[in-house]
Amino acid sequence: MATTPKKPVARLEVKKTYKLYINGAFPRSESGRVYEVLTSKGVSVANPSLASRKDLRDAVVAARAAQSGWAKATAYNRGQILYRIAEMLEGRADQIANEISLATGVTSKKAHDEVLTAIDRWVWYAGWSDKLSAAFGATNPVSGPYYNFTIPEPQGVIAVAPAESFLAFIDAIAPAIVSGNTVVALVPGSAAIAAMTFAEVLATSDLPAGVINILTGSHDELAPWAASHMDIDGFDISGITKKKRADLKVAGAENLKRIHHFEGTPSPTRIYAFMEAKTVWHPIGV
């Protein structure tokens, strides 16, 4: 007896849950808040976490704890870890490009070009890891039986507030961490989607937990707290509008926070902006 074929059961797509990335883990915002990312046609894409002040404090604690170990890693080791991240990004380039295209409405080709450019920038900055001492260090002439050396060292914990694009996100993080700093990234708007896919890459790479921490949400809410936080040593405010930069610099003055913004092509100057020059005296042996 013939039987009527059963109709396939309709299934619901498994939607991705967007969390934060702090200390190598993916916690929800302690506030429980989210915000909506819409396509150019008003269709809902995702609900990333809206990070709070408490989330920022947690991220800074993680970054501070990781900073010493990351700074003590050899320059060669840091470069190899960053290059491995680039390899993994290459394997997920199509996914990230699709996310950018969906969230921003740009063409697939333009999104792919942005991702490939971001990967190339990451590799370019990774290549500087073992060249920083030669580029920014010096042997200084002094009067007396001494050697005098200038040695560049990482500054510490750096907050970055990039513009709303994946390329700007990479351009802010890579130069900060290559020298041995750790980072708290404040990622706005639709850029959160690709940024959290990048966090998944970090979580499965060799990068120590806490070196990069990613908070999604609003610059207007998070940036003033980052500027006034006493355990953040530097702040890249390239994604902040010009009329709001002055207030952030005032907020960061209490702990002499270095606050910079950058424009244009990548440059080693962007690395050195968040480094300290340490001078060492050593007697010449007889």
Summarize pLDDT for 158-171 with one digit per residue, the tens.
999 999 999 999 99
Three-class SS state of 188: strand
Domains in the chain and their CATH numbers?
37-283 (3.40.605.10)
Tokens describing residue 224 = 């003033």
Asked whether the beta carbons of 213 and 160 are under 8 A apart, the reply is no
pLDDT band at 277 (very low <50, low <70, confident <90, very high): confident
Summarize pLDDT for 6-47 with one digit per residue, the tens.
766 788 777 788 999 999 999 999 999 999 998 878 888 899
> C-alpha angle 20/223/166, rounded to 5°?
55
In this model, does residue 150 exceed pLDDT 90? no
Q: Cα Rg for the chain, rounded, in angstroms?
A: 22
- Average pLDDT score over residue span 53-80: 97
Q: How many whole angstroms separate alpha carbon 62 and alpha carbon 231? A: 11
Please tell me which residue, 107 or 11, carries the higher pLDDT value. 107
pTM exceeds 0.75: yes
What is the structure's pLDDT at 43?
84
What is the structure's pLDDT at 39?
82
Lowest mean pLDDT across 41-50, 175-184, 246-255:
41-50
- H runs (alpha helix) in the chain: 53-72, 75-91, 93-104, 108-126, 132-136, 166-177, 191-203, 219-228, 242-251, 268-272
